[in-house]
Structure 1
Amino acid sequence: MAAREPTLAALPNPFLRYFLATRPAFLTITLVGALLGIACVVHDGITLKPLLVFVTLFAALVTHAGMNVLNDYYDALSGCDARNVDRIYPYTGGSRFIQNGVLTLRATAAFGFALLIAVIPAGLWLAWHAGPGLLAIGAFGLFLGWAYSADPLRLNGRGLGELCVALGYLLVVVGSDFVERPGFATLPWVAGTPYALLVTAILYVNQFPDRAADAASGKRHWVVRLSPSVAARGYGVFLLLAYAGLLTGIALRGLPVAAAAALAALPLSLRAWSHLVRHADTPRALAPAIRDTLGAAHLAGLLIAAALIISKGPT
């Protein structure tokens, strides 16, 4: 059964209303990325500091929440969410809070920026402990999140959205590792790359139901630029890069052999790709492909993290 879109009548509690506006069900993808970074630290034998772990997770999740809210705001400004009749709620077409009158455009913008401002003290405190390199990671991550959908850059509308997401989620892993290490290491980059690419596949498949509305709003990402059939084959590029990156990391001893367990996510990825290829031009039929893509990213990230933890010590 399809999820019901939010309405003001169904959300009389303002605290619940604002909480749900962050799309909390989708914050787990950032949680897994942060846990993967922390697992890199554990693998290298560094003792975790619980308070740093807590503040790291808080900062990552609130930042993602703020980006979700602001993405709704900027997509409302461009009109693409209002035009989206092929959306698959709750996966695509935004949260629908603005379009259904749950929150005003102004309230959405204020809430999104307030969430990002709330992260600043936590980020500064973490940087005080970890070093200025964390400020660079955080600043670049915030820039990517803002530039993804905001004018004048609107990078997703210029075919650079996939790059933004891949870099952004790789930085989640690297930043979470940096806080506890502190300093830069090779492991989080190697462990984070397959995960970041599978997360990018989520963005890619989600663009198919939004294709017509995005095109009408001037968004020229690759799913809009290519025909549905060609764009569907492009999904396989992300799978190839992600799983080849995982196997290369293991072969070069950048990852423990146990990380091969993440290949358990491959059947989900292949099933999603098969469904997408068969139904690329039928947007309303793509919910199974979206769910499998989400499942594959979560499963692979958690299995790589688990492999790092149980293989504590030199790879």
Structure 2
Amino acid sequence: MPRPPVEPSPADAGPLPLRYLRATRLPFLSVTLFACLIGFGTAAQAGALQPGPALFTLALALVCHAAVNVLNDYYDALNGSDAANTERVFPYTGGSRCIQNGVLSLRQTRDFGLALLALTVLGGLALLARAPGLLGIGLIGVLAGWAYSAPPLALNARGLGEAAVALCFALVAVGADAVQRGVPAAGPLLAAAGYGVAVTAILYINQFPDWRADAAAGKRHWVVRLGPQRAAGLFVPLLAVAYALQALAILSGALPPLAAAVLGLLPLWRRAARELAAHAGAPGRLAAGIQATILAANLFGLLTAAALAFG
């Protein structure tokens, strides 16, 4: 059996730049990579893909996602949920632990998150020269990313975090496509809608180990509102929505028929659903289910992007 990942500590965190990098939760930015690839795929279908602007867009989207992760750590430190979280499944839930373990201070984390967000805004302004219609998409994305954790909106604490995640990851694809075409289009939104819900499944299953600490901190997301046993019953319907949206995108022509390849992921989703049903009330045993969900969601995005590239 592989050893579980070790939480960061000042002794092994390395120099300050590496500490900041750990706070971004870099491995989990992959979901943004695949959202961008879907947007690039829809642009390529329209004959509008340009490598230079695409790489700049991808880098900017990854910086934005990193900012959201860092600010989430900051606000969860302020509300006390990460400090109180004794049932976390590191590195998947409970934050990066950089603040709690003394790797970064609260102020360093806040300033880093705000700097990344400012960099996102500056980069977005540069892209407006190519696609003026990107302004609305960018404003929604940055606002939703900040408001996911930050008061007074604190969307995840109000049971709106799941919807915000699904929308934002679909909008990443819309924005990536818009930079290439010069104008936003409806097709990419539908093409990425199923993937956005698949990514939401990661957030959803990750809330189970955290729910007691989140409830104590006043974060009223779906798992807190329903309790773990009832909430586990919504995992499969959530996946059904992702597949229904994927089917709708194929039928409407927003995705090629090859995008139905995501059906091959059903055994992996089934494993995740079984793990959640069996261990919803035992967070320490959910690592396998969380891993299966992360893998399935990433593959959902990869297969959708590949369908656009080769279909």
Q: Give yes or no for TM over 0.5.
A: yes
Task: Give the corresponding residue for 1:80.
Answer: 81
Contact 1:275–1:289 at 8 Å: present in 2 too? yes
Residue type of the partner of 1:245?
L
Once residues 118 and 143 of structure 1 are traced to their aligned partners in structure 2, the CA distance between those partners, rounded to angstroms, is 14
TM-superposed deviation, 1:166: 0.7
Once residues 201 and 110 of structure 1 are traced to their aligned partners in structure 2, the CA distance between those partners, rounded to angstroms, is 30
Q: Which runs of 5+ in 1 are unaligned?
A: none
Once residues 161 and 297 of structure 1 are traced to their aligned partners in structure 2, the CA distance between those partners, rounded to angstroms, is 17
- Write out aligned runs for 1:162-311 (5 A): 162-311=162-311
2:42 to 31, 40, 43: 40
Contact 1:38–1:177 at 8 Å: present in 2 too? yes
Q: Which runs of 5+ in 2 are unaligned?
A: none
Single out whichever of 67-76 and 152-161 deviates more from structure 2. Answer: 152-161
TM-superposed deviation, 1:154: 1.0
Once residues 180 and 270 of structure 2 are traced to their aligned partners in structure 1, the CA distance between those partners, rounded to angstroms, is 35
Task: Give the corresponding residue for 1:98.
Answer: 99
**2:159 counterpart of 1:159:** yes
TM-superposed deviation, 1:185: 2.0
Single out whichever of 282-291 and 259-268 deviates more from structure 2. Answer: 259-268
TM-superposed deviation, 1:193: 0.5
Once residues 164 and 125 of structure 1 are traced to their aligned partners in structure 2, the CA distance between those partners, rounded to angstroms, is 25
Task: Give the corresponding residue for 1:12.
Answer: 14
2:5 to 3, 24, 29: 3
Once residues 186 and 61 of structure 1 are traced to their aligned partners in structure 2, the CA distance between those partners, rounded to angstroms, is 23
Once residues 7 and 28 of structure 1 are traced to their aligned partners in structure 2, the CA distance between those partners, rounded to angstroms, is 24
Contact 1:34–1:172 at 8 Å: present in 2 too? yes
Once residues 12 and 166 of structure 1 are traced to their aligned partners in structure 2, the CA distance between those partners, rounded to angstroms, is 35
Task: Give the corresponding residue for 1:134.
Answer: 134
Normalising by structure 1, we get a TM-score of: 0.96
**2:33 counterpart of 1:49:** no
Once residues 117 and 246 of structure 1 are traced to their aligned partners in structure 2, the CA distance between those partners, rounded to angstroms, is 34
SS in 2 for 1:208: helix
The number of residues matched between the two structures is: 309
Task: Give the corresponding residue for 1:115.
Answer: 116
Single out whichever of 187-196 and 260-269 deviates more from structure 2. Answer: 260-269
Task: Give the corresponding residue for 1:23.
Answer: 25
Once residues 246 and 65 of structure 1 are traced to their aligned partners in structure 2, the CA distance between those partners, rounded to angstroms, is 27
Contact 1:264–1:300 at 8 Å: present in 2 too? no
RMSD between aligned alpha carbons?
1.1
TM-superposed deviation, 1:125: 1.2
Q: Deviations over 1:165-193 (max 9, x none)?
A: 01111111110011001222232112100
Residue type of the partner of 2:119?
A
Residue type of the partner of 2:267?
P
TM-superposed deviation, 1:253: 3.0
TM-superposed deviation, 1:109: 0.2
Residue type of the partner of 2:151?
D
